[in-house]
Amino acid sequence: GNSVTQMEGPVTLSEEAFLTINCTYTATGYPSLFWYVQYPGEGLQLLLKATKADDKGSNKGFEATYRKETTSFHLEKGSVQVSDSAVYFCALSSRGGGNKLTFGTGTQLKVEL
Pick the closer one to other proteins by CB: 29 or 100. 100
Residue 79 CB, shortest distance to other proteins, in Å, is: 27
Beta carbon nearer to other proteins, 8 or 15: 8
56 vs 112, beta carbon nearer other proteins: 56
CA distance 93 to 27: 9
Beta bridge partners of 49: 34
> Among 79, 62, 61, 78, which Cα is nearest to 23's?
62
Residues in contact with other proteins by CB under 8 A are 4, 32, 34, 41-46, 49, 89, 91, 93, 96, 98-101, 103-106
For residue 109, the SS3 value is strand
Distance in Å, CB of 16 to other proteins, minimum: 29
User: Least CB distance from residue 38 to other proteins, whole Å?
Assistant: 8
Q: What DSSP line would sit under 5-57, residue for residue?
A: EE--S-EEEETT--EEE-EEEE-SS--EEEEEEE-TTS-EEEEEEE-STT-EE
Q: How far is the CB of 32 from other proteins (least distance, A)?
A: 5
Nearer to other proteins, 84 or 106 (CB): 106
